[in-house]
Chains A and B, each alone.
Chain A
Amino acid sequence: AQKITQTQPGMFVQEKEAVTLDCTYDTSDPSYGLFWYKQPSSGEMIFLIYQGSYDQQNATEGRYSLNFQKARKSANLVISASQLGDSAMYFCAMRKNYGGSQGNLIFGKGTKLSVKP
């Protein structure tokens, strides 16, 4: 069965420092996609970054980068130069083939990041 594991329930980081949020996954599919979402206290889920299993390079989007280590089945999110507005829950997710139809994501339990001024 496919599974996403986020082992850090909560983390603190000093403003302007970099932080890494861990994510490991388990799948037997050769083709899959990995996503990170941010959920501020207001509740909306914001898509941050995507990594495909066949992508040769690590994905980057502004201050977000994904440290993809395929052999270790890890897809850690790196946030550079943390800002107070980065305080939120962060979810790692994987695209799953479900019932013959692609689309569904399975999610980890999340990591709560708190940025200290």
Chain B
Amino acid sequence: DVKVTQSSRYLVKRTGEKVFLECVQDMDHENMFWYRQDPGLGLRLIYFSYDVKMKEKGDIPEGYSVSREKKERFSLILESASTNQTSMYLCASSRGQGAGNNSPLHFGNGTRLTVT
């Protein structure tokens, strides 16, 4: 089974802090994603990466950056946390483009971040 592990289940940070959310997958997947989930809004894509050191902006990249130095690890960085970044953050991975349309995303358990 694919395992996607997010380093923290719950996190509380102060406004202005730099925050790192870590995600590791163990199935040699090319693609990795960071989504944000808010009630009534569903999941919205922040950033994704289809290869080491490659990244593309999603729908809501403002206030975030990412790092992918190794294939298995994808980090989400909040440069200066703000209260409107309080949310559930979900990391996911999937096989690459050649795998076809039916390759699902495999998700971690999520990190619930509270910024005070």
Query: What is A's interface to B at a CB cutoff of 8 Å?
Result: 9, 31-33, 35, 37, 42-45, 47, 50, 52-53, 91, 93, 95, 98-99, 101-110
Binding site for A on B (CB under 8 A): 31, 33, 35, 40-45, 48, 50, 56, 58, 88, 90, 92, 94, 96-97, 101-102, 104-110, 112
Say whether B104 contacts A99, CB under 8 Å.
no
Known: A107-B42, A109-B40. A98 touches B109 (CB 8 A): no
Known: A101-B56, A104-B45. A45 touches B90 (CB 8 A): yes
- Count, A-B residue pairs, CB within 8 A: 64
Q: Are A102 and B97 in contact (CB under 8 A)?
A: yes
A99, chain B: closest CB distance, angstroms? 5
Q: Which B residues touch A32, using CB under 8 A?
A: 101
- In the bound complex, what is the Cα–Cα distance between A45 and B35 (angstroms)? 12
Q: Check A50 against B104 for contact (C-beta < 8 Å).
A: yes
Cross-interface CB contact of B33 among A52, A91, A103, cutoff 8 Å: A103
Q: Give CA–CA (A103, B40) in the complex, Å.
A: 24
Report yes or no: A44 in contact with B42, Cβ–Cβ below 8 A: no
CB proximity of A42 to chain B, nearest CB, Å: 7
- Chain A residues closer than 8 Å to B96, beta-carbon distance: 103
Quick one: closest A residue to B2, CB to CB?
Answer: A47
Decide yes or no: A91 and B42 within 8 Å by CB, A47-B106, A103-B96 being known contacts. yes
Contacts of A43 in B (CB 8 A): 88, 109-110, 112
Q: Most B CB atoms within 10 A — which of A47, A52, A104?
A: A104
On whether the beta carbons of A44 and B109 are closer than 8 Å, the reply is yes
A110 touches B94 (CB 8 A): no
Cβ 8 A contact of B50, one of A9, A93, A101, A109: A101
Bound-state CA distance A47–B108 (Å) is 12
Q: Are B104 and A35 in contact (CB under 8 A)?
A: yes
CB distance from B95 to the nearest CB of A (A): 8
Nearest B residue to A42, CB-CB: B109
Given known A-B contacts A33-B101, A45-B90, A99 and B56 have beta carbons under 8 A apart: yes
- Which 3 A-B pairs have CB atoms at the shortest separation, nearest pair first? A33-B101, A45-B107, A109-B42
25 interchain pairs (CB within 8 A)?
Answer: A32-B101, A33-B101, A42-B109, A44-B108, A44-B110, A45-B105, A50-B102, A53-B101, A91-B43, A93-B43, A98-B48, A98-B56, A101-B56, A101-B97, A102-B97, A102-B101, A103-B96, A103-B97, A104-B33, A104-B58, A105-B105, A106-B45, A107-B43, A109-B40, A109-B41
